[in-house]
Amino acid sequence: MKNYIPLVVGVVLGLVVVLMLGRYMGRQKDLSEDTSSIVIASRAISAEETLDSDMITKRSVPRTSCPKNAVSWGRRSWLLGQLTSRPIASGDYILVSDIGFTKSIGNMIGEGEWAVTVPTGGSGIAKLLQPGDEVAIIATLTVLEEVASTDMDAPPTTVERQVTTVLFPKVRVLDAGGQAAPGKGTRGEITVALPPQQAQVLISAQGKAELTLALRRPSDATEVKRSMLGKVDDGTFMKLVEGLDRVELPDSPTQPVSRKME
């Protein structure tokens, strides 16, 4: 019996070491996880109450757990002087949707940004957007391309090509418009924040391209460059069918065989 005692003690000590190591690694993972500082209520706040700096405080949360439409601590100045649209408990996140903005939308624009309105026609995801959402803006436009002539003496021919490409991979929505009048659809425009040069490009693109919005995941920190996303043109779809056999329908399509009941 005494021979088993060292073995039992060794097993118990091994389990203790494994448990402690697991807890330590868990704590290290929590410490290393990318976090975001967001605004929460420092005390209970009533509906229709004007926010001031004493009512808010900061909380760091993992980016993967950051609530949609949460207000980042760096943009807390948006909230000051605004009215709450609902009661907010102490410690709760303060969301963009909790605020009935009474000041100019200019207070929501970050330093070095301009606000630009984009018509959407109330289609697609535009009617689902909320202030604070992030979208990609995709442009479908016609470009001119020179095609060399088979005749060496003839000048190249200019042809029109339709191209789809990402104009802006990540744009913050300031306002998603209001409800349209009865019978005139839903939201017809959004307002986004961009640096001045990019704002000019977006304004010009509205007259040259059809713009489509793609909703990004909340708090998605993935860096996306336009050069990584490429373009879609006629060649894209030609490659889709390259090497495939053509399907031909017979003059008299085969009728499905009916099964007789036994």
Tens digits of residue pLDDT in 43-55: 999 988 988 889 9
Contact 96, 107 (CB under 8 A): no
Q: What's the rounded Cα separation, in Å, for the pair 213 and 202?
A: 13
Looking at residue 179, its pLDDT comes to: 42
Q: What's the rounded Cα separation, in Å, for the pair 162 and 249?
A: 30
Last residue of a domain, one of 54, 75, 103: 103
Contact 17, 9 (CB under 8 A): no
Looking at residue 186, its pLDDT comes to: 46
In a domain, 202, yes or no: yes
Q: Are residues 137 and 234 in the same domain?
A: yes
Largest CA distance in the chain: 103
Q: Are residues 189 and 233 in the same domain?
A: yes
Looking at residue 28, its pLDDT comes to: 57
pTM: 0.59
Looking at residue 183, its pLDDT comes to: 43
Looking at residue 26, its pLDDT comes to: 64
Residues in the chain with pLDDT < 70? Answer: 1-12, 24-33, 101-105, 107, 122-123, 177-187, 219, 253, 255-262
Residue 197 has a CB neighbour count (10 Å cut-off) of 8
Question: Of 45, 36, 42, 38, which is closest to residue 82 (Cα–Cα)?
Answer: 45
Q: Are residues 99 and 169 in the same domain?
A: no
* Domain of residue 58, residue span: 34-103
pLDDT in tens, 130-174: 877 889 999 999 988 887 777 777 787 788 889 999 999 999 888
Looking at residue 29, its pLDDT comes to: 54
Q: What's the rounded Cα separation, in Å, for the pair 88 and 44?
A: 6
Q: What's the rounded Cα separation, in Å, for the pair 215 and 232?
A: 19
Looking at residue 258, its pLDDT comes to: 60
Looking at residue 249, its pLDDT comes to: 83
Question: Of 236, 242, 22, 217, which is closest to residue 136 (Cα–Cα)?
Answer: 217
Domain count, the chain: 2
Last residue of a domain, one of 73, 103, 133: 103
Identity of the amino acid at 65: S
Q: Are residues 115 and 193 in the same domain?
A: yes
